[in-house]
Amino acid sequence: MDLHEESFAMFHQDPEISEIASVYCLWVIPALFGYSVLQSLIRYFQTQSLIYPMVLSSFTVLCLHVLACWVLVYTLGLGTKGAALSISLSYWLNAGFLWLFMRHSRVCEGKRVFISMETFGHMKIFFSLAVPSAMMVTLEWSAFEILILISGVLPNAKLETSVISMIFTTSYLHYNLASPIGAAASTNLANELGAGNLVAAWASATIAISIAAVESSAMSFALFLSRHVWGYAYSNVPEVICYAAEITPILCISIVMDSLSASLTGIWSLWRRSRPEVMIGVDRRRSEQSDERNLTEQSIEHKEQSA
């Protein structure tokens, strides 16, 4: 029994499941590097408002992922190892498609980012921001993973672990829908605030919160109505289905809170940038632009009169 299996066994997890999980954890390591490269490219495309290339790349990779997963898992008989390798392949393909678009597309001319020695001069600032952010995200997601692990020490551990895993997977799938709302709001707010358009920034924030509230409410309502059905997507054991139906109201509340949290995370900068001194600076900038516009119009009128 290796270290991974011992760690799972310490929390009274099923030995067979622990062995499969340890194999998956080892073979999914290459995906971590592809994911990090992909996230950097996604941030670049978001700042350039290049959304359609990301959509097209993600859709293409999704279609290829289904085929790759089928071939690796069933055709080649790799099982769990094939599932992990298919995820790694999909991340690297997505990153490769986006890099090729950035490198060769005319849309990115004059906006391409290349590796240079100047990059290493800003590493201190980068790590001062990246390390706290990484710790925050790690602690957040570790809370869910630890919850699944310690469920093994509860009475009827198999039932508890199965239902909590179902709840976590469903919540994670919905978070992938809610998180882009916050990311889009953050990017749009940054653009509007940088241009001094406070009214448009507030409108974007209001729209983002409204979309998150409506979407999460509709999703929670639909999930609550189908509380005796949605569990069959994961299991056909009646005991698991009934237990999942009992916990569904808590899942619905969690979905609403997660959606609002994802949206407000992207909008948080709006409050900080809308302080009085910033508004005074924006008003001053608008006043200067108005003065410059008036001078230009007067100069044009003077030239026309002289002519």
- Who wins on pLDDT, 196 or 125? 125
Kindly provide the residue ranges of all beta strands, DSSP E only, lying in 42-199, ordered along the sequence.
none
Distance CA 300, CA 298 (A): 5
Task: Find the mean pLDDT for residues 252-273.
Answer: 70
Residue 105, helix vs strand vs coil: coil
Distance CA 186, CA 272 (A): 13
Least confident span in 48-57, 111-120, 210-219, 245-254:
111-120
14 Cβ neighbours under 8 A, 6+ residues apart: 157, 158, 161
Least confident span in 25-29, 213-217, 283-287:
283-287
Distance CA 188, CA 250 (A): 32
Distance CA 83, CA 81 (A): 5
The pTM score is 0.65
Task: Find the mean pLDDT for residues 225-254.
Answer: 87
Residue 289, helix vs strand vs coil: helix
